[in-house]
Amino acid sequence: MTSPIAELPVTGYLDRLSRRPGERFRAMVSARDGGPVRARLLRVISGDPNPDGPGLRFEDLSHRFDITFDGERQAIHAGSHAVVPRAPHRAEGPCSWSALIWFAASPGAATIMAEHEAGAAISLALDADGVVATVTGAGGAVRLATGGAPAPRRWHRLWLSADPASGRVVVGMQPFEGGAATKAAGIVAGLRLPTGGGRVTIAADGATPAGAHFTGKIEAPSLHAAFHEAWPQPDLPLDARDPTLVAGWDFARDIPTQRILDIGPQGCDGHLVNVPTRAMVGARWSGREMCWRHAPEDYGAIQFNADDLADCGWRTSFTFGVPADLRSGAYALHLACAGGEDWLPLYVLPPRGTTTAPVAFLASTFTYQAYANHARGNADEAYRARVTEWGAYPHNADDYPVYGRSTYNRHPDRSGIAFSSRLRPILTMRPGYLTFNDARGSGLRHYPADTHLLAWLEAKRIAFDVITDEDLHEEGAALLAPYRVVMTGSHPEYHTLQTLDALQAYTRGRGRLMYLGGNGFYWRIAVTQTLPGMLELRRAEGGIRAWAAEPGEYWHQTDGAHGGLWRRNRRPPQMLAGVGFSGQGLFEGTHYRLLPAARDPRHAWVFEGVEGETFGGYGLSGGGAAGFELDRADAALGTPEGTAILARSEDPPASFVTVPEELLSHVNTVTGEPAAALKRAEIVMFDTPGGGSVFATGSITWCGSLWQDGAFQGPVSRIMENVLRRFAAP
């Protein structure tokens, strides 16, 4: 008996993470046990539950929005597959179904192709008995199996042939590159085949909802008006001129879309469900081109995955219209039912065409989405005890695979997850979510960690607007232009070409950027209007990676651009922010030491009120302002001429390493320095020719050190306030 799927008592997601006054959010909510659900508005001030920190702090705005509605359980149907809603029509007679397949690990019981109509069905599948055919006979379903399975990591031709006149059925497989075929045959009394009155499903069974999902690659699925005891040629390509071809879906066509095109005479095109991965090397990949746009015929495979999840597709439970006078900021819709509670974070921008403050916080929503529901496997007994003791967010992503995983996790076959959706519950994007059981601090990352900055702004009474990565991608530099200062959060890691270009244009003008994190502007991602709510990532060619894309699969399917590090795309972070990723360790930190440039009269104002030569050896993130992931300056990578390096971290903890892209060999680095010397964070400042300025701290844990000894105070807080107030001045 299978265990019940773990679901939260109540949870949900929004149609978008940010809107402006006068616009309306749609909320999709699932209440596991049904019953009334209350939704009310909160302003999020601090998302850190640490009793030694600012605590979880909200402003109750239930007087602005407070409703109760009838909750319902809304199911999630994961697993990517293809559906051809109109199966090709053909006369009664012999028919064959075939496809090329490749998998890295046994997919278990999985369907390759299925066709269903009233009174007749076929299935070509894999299970413990090998390649399996299921057909309809006089007595119901009849099953034949080869008794042997295809070998992993090798392409195979699978086929099912059936002849109603004789009742003969053959199911088989043959290695694509040649070798003996394995098959099983039999006679089925009263054999009845579909003739086009239903639909075809690829990579899943024909049930509603679909099941028996396949994890692996499929290429060139097809139907032929012919019977084959043995497939004529295992590597025979699809050919529209083949007189036996009834339908053939060429996955090398329309790669950026969610359509699959039939080159057969009836044009029975289909669509993809749950966004499987395209632009994958196929059985005929020649290696002559590494980009699918230059040789699409080499990229005729789609990687389907049993755990792919795009839009949950839930019904709208309620809507929230943003009041015209609601200030820009971070908010959440608090959900509560008899069984529990949850929060749906959202951001409110200022009214279109206006600003309400000279300072903007750029929320790293693309990064929050890339890490969405990251299952780390670290929710041990001590972690859970801390969650309970602190009253932190009570749910850990490890326990709820039903809501999908992150781009830091892997599919069942160990391939990397290349897509992430925000149209699903994202547990890691919740106030109070603990990522680590941090021995020296709070253990926050991403969304809750960035509330350290928001709470500091609140405490210092510094007015600010909020904008997001997605807004910046859509609206470009015009969104930033009215602001004197734009501040990042702790980890603005994932960016599109549009967001980088907008930030670069802003700083090259009169804009002032405060980059307050580490490992920022690192990975290139793609988003597209044809897949709202999705981002694509290919972890290509270097970098610290949770998984590595296979050779030949480095180019995004959605925009056709080369994926991987921005550094490998000739846009190192140093070009924008002056510093870029150099060292990483466990979630712990150290201090900075001032350098001579800090005492230069041109920059001494930054450190006004800071005593001593070192600072930052404390904080709510790993116990130090320079921690976890560190960035350094490098003129060869684009750090602008005239950049002042004001301070540098020292004494990195023993867990720290130099990141791979800094190493040429076991003894040589890109700079010629010892590898150990590159495990450093640097605080830099520079002016741009257009009158802009950049201040960068080079560390993910910097904002955690805005808090010291029970308040937002101390050297890091003072430095921040000095810079922000100077930058924000007219």
Distance CA 700, CA 685 (A): 17
Q: Which of 269, 304, 339 is the last residue of a domain?
A: 304
- How far apart (Å, rounded) are the C-alpha atoms in residues 707 and 251? 54
DSSP 558: T
Average pLDDT, integer, range 174-181: 93
Tokens of 131: 């390649």
Please indicate, yes or no, whether residues 337 and 452 belong to a single structural domain of this protein: yes
Residues 474 and 586 placed together within one structural domain of the fold: yes
Answer yes or no: is 232 within a domain: yes
Please give the C-alpha separations between residue 529 and each of 257, 470, 474, in angstroms, as whole numbers. 11, 11, 10
Q: Find the distance separating the first CA and the last CA of the chain, reported in whole Å.
A: 68
Q: What is the pLDDT of residues 691-717, one digit of tens each?
A: 999 999 999 999 999 999 999 999 999
What are the beta bridge partners of residue 337? 340
Question: The domain spanning residue 164 has which CATH number?
Answer: 2.60.120.200
Out of 304, 338, 366, pick the residue that ends a domain: 304
Q: Report pLDDT digits (tens) over 79-112.
A: 999 999 999 999 999 999 999 999 999 999 999 9
Domain of residue 663, CATH code: 3.40.50.880
- Cβ-proximal residues to 339 (8 Å cutoff; 6+ apart), any chain: 9, 10, 31, 32, 33
Is there a single domain that holds both residue 255 and residue 334? no
Helix (H) or strand (E) holding 728: helix 715-728
Summarize pLDDT for 142-153 with one digit per residue, the tens. 999 999 999 999
Confidence tier at 542 by pLDDT (50, 70, 90): confident
Judge if 576 and 670 occupy the same domain: yes
Identify the three-state secondary structure at position 181.
Answer: coil
The 10s digit of each residue's pLDDT in 381-406 is: 999 999 999 999 999 999 999 999 99
Within a domain: 259: yes
Residue 61 lies in a domain: no
Task: Give tens-digit pLDDT for 343-382.
Answer: 999 999 999 999 999 999 999 999 999 999 999 999 999 9
Confidence of residue 233 (pLDDT cuts 50, 70, 90): confident
Q: Which of 658, 593, 578, 582 is nearest to 624 (CA)?
A: 593
Instruction: Tell me the pLDDT tens digit for each residue of 619-660.
Output: 999 999 999 999 999 999 999 999 999 999 999 999 999 999
Q: With beta carbons less than 8 A apart as the criterion, state whether 131 and 165 touch.
A: no
Residue with token string 């075939």: 98
Q: Is residue 503 scored above 80 in pLDDT?
A: yes
Whether residues 394 and 482 share a domain: the answer is yes
Instruction: Read off the pLDDT band of 236 (50, 70, 90).
Output: confident
Evaluate whether residue 127 is within a structural domain: yes
Binning pLDDT at 50, 70 and 90, where does residue 513 land? very high
Dihedral pair phi/psi, residue 446, rounded to 5°: 60, -125
**Per-residue tokens: 287:** 């290696």
> Is residue 294 domain-resident?
yes
In the numeric block, the tokens 């029509």 are attached to 89
For residues 199 and 265, state if they share a domain. yes
Predicted pLDDT at 565: 97
Do 421 and 276 share a structural domain?
no
Question: What is residue 4's predicted lDDT score, i.e. its pLDDT?
Answer: 64
- Domain tally, the chain: 2
pLDDT of amino acid 2: 41
For the cut 50, the answer to whether the pLDDT of residue 1 exceeds it is no
Same domain, 334 and 199: no
Tell me the pTM: 0.97
User: Same domain, yes or no, for 196 and 138?
Assistant: yes
What DSSP character marks residue 51? Answer: T
Could you say which of 288, 304, 320 is where a domain stops?
Answer: 304
* Residues 298 and 337 placed together within one structural domain of the fold: no
Q: Which domain holds residue 296?
A: 81-304
Whether 310 is in a domain gets the answer no
Residue 266, domain member (yes or no): yes
Beta bridge partners of 66: 40
Residues 390 and 294 in one domain: no
- pLDDT, tens digit, 9 for 90 and up, residues 2-34: 446 799 999 999 999 999 999 999 999 999 999
For residue 4, tell me if it sits in a domain.
Answer: no
Calculate the average pLDDT of the chain. Answer: 96
Instruction: Give the CA distances from residue 592 to residues 487, 548, 613, 705, in Å, rounded to whole numbers and listed in that order.
Output: 21, 33, 8, 12
Residues 6+ away with beta carbon under 8 Å from 304? 80, 81, 82, 202, 203, 204, 213, 214, 215, 216, 217, 218, 276
- Whether 377 and 284 map to the same domain: the answer is no
578 Rama class: left (phi>0) / alpha (psi -120 to 50) / beta: left
